[in-house]
Amino acid sequence: MRTIFTQLFAATKLLVPTKRHRWQLMLLVLIAAMIPVTELLVAKLFTDLVIAGNSRPITEIILQLLLFAVLFVSTRIANYMQKTYRVKFFDKAFGADTREKSSTKESWEWAMGLELVNALSFITQMFVIASMLIVLSPNFGLLNLLLIVLVLQLMGVIFKRQLKKQRGFVEKKRAKKTVTPAERLGSRIQQAEFATLMASFGVVVLLAVLIWFSLEGWVSLSNAIVLFLALRIQNTTFSSVSSSLMRFARAKANSF
């Protein structure tokens, strides 16, 4: 896990040379991380409305419906703005970089920059969701946090190995040795999917724990539904982090 954060922060210092652009990068990451949390809040409002039915005053139902609509639309707008603005952001950030570099190296740095935003966003997203789960159910949330730490530790080991492999591929290429696409791409994809598979096993265990907590009455019905959706989002996030880290390793190996 330490390798992941060391490499990502080192890349941030290199690719984003000014403090102003680093603050903008942080804002992009936070916006991306808050989108799924807002979606979970929308799901919470929806489940509370459906379960409560007509037992609440009509004014309260209308207010919740309006809040539901505002949050839903806000997540779509924020997602669109975050994904489109990051291209403009790196265009400005790289424009402030005075280093001399070839067009090939610049292309790889673009790839590394985009994966940097993705990886930081997904990792931040995991911990923000974990915080929300702790609020909804402290015991379940702490188990989920433990899973995140274990998964990141595993991904860190795989990421470190992938960096070495990708650097090896670059050295072979410079030495005029043949590296087949199957070898170059297969290694990255295989390692990413292996980490995702291991993370999925952990999510399955947490789903079983969630069912147990729900049957015992330790988690309310509406919270159980939201926790289930959060685990689904987190499982997808694990896959996204793993794939993004492997692509980052490839881009970094070819950039320097």
The SS3 of residue 193 is: helix
* CA distance linking residue 104 with residue 241, whole number of Å: 25
Q: What are phi and psi of 185, to 5 degrees?
A: -80, -35
Number of H helices, E strands in the chain: 7, 0
Chain position carrying tokens 């019905």: 221
Contacting residues for 216 by C-beta, under 8 A, at least 6 apart: none
Q: What is the value of pTM for the model shown? A: 0.83
**Average confidence (pLDDT) over 108-120:** 86
Residue 130 pLDDT > 80: yes
Confidence band (pLDDT; 50, 70, 90) for 200?
very high
Contacting residues for 159 by C-beta, under 8 A, at least 6 apart: 3, 4, 7, 245, 246, 249
At residue 98, the pLDDT reads: 53
Q: What is the pLDDT of residues 202-221, one digit of tens each?
A: 999 999 999 999 998 899 88
171 token code pair: 């050295």
At residue 168, the pLDDT reads: 87
Q: What is the pLDDT of residues 152-187, one digit of tens each?
A: 999 999 999 999 988 888 888 788 777 777 777 788
Residue whose C-alpha is closest to residue 1's, from 159, 161, 190, 122: 159
Q: What is the pLDDT of residues 1-41, one digit of tens each?
A: 788 999 998 888 888 877 887 888 888 888 888 888 888 88
CA atoms within 13 A on the CB side of 9: 6
* CA distance linking residue 45 with residue 109, whole number of Å: 42
CATH class, range 2-255: mainly alpha
| Amino acid in the structure at residue 152 | L
Is residue 161 exposed (0-12), middle (13-18) or buried (19+ Cβ within 10 Å)? middle
Residue 81 pLDDT > 80: no
Residue 108 pLDDT > 70: yes
At residue 79, the pLDDT reads: 74
Confidence band (pLDDT; 50, 70, 90) for 95?
low
What are the structural domain ranges in the chain?
Answer: 2-255
At residue 155, the pLDDT reads: 94
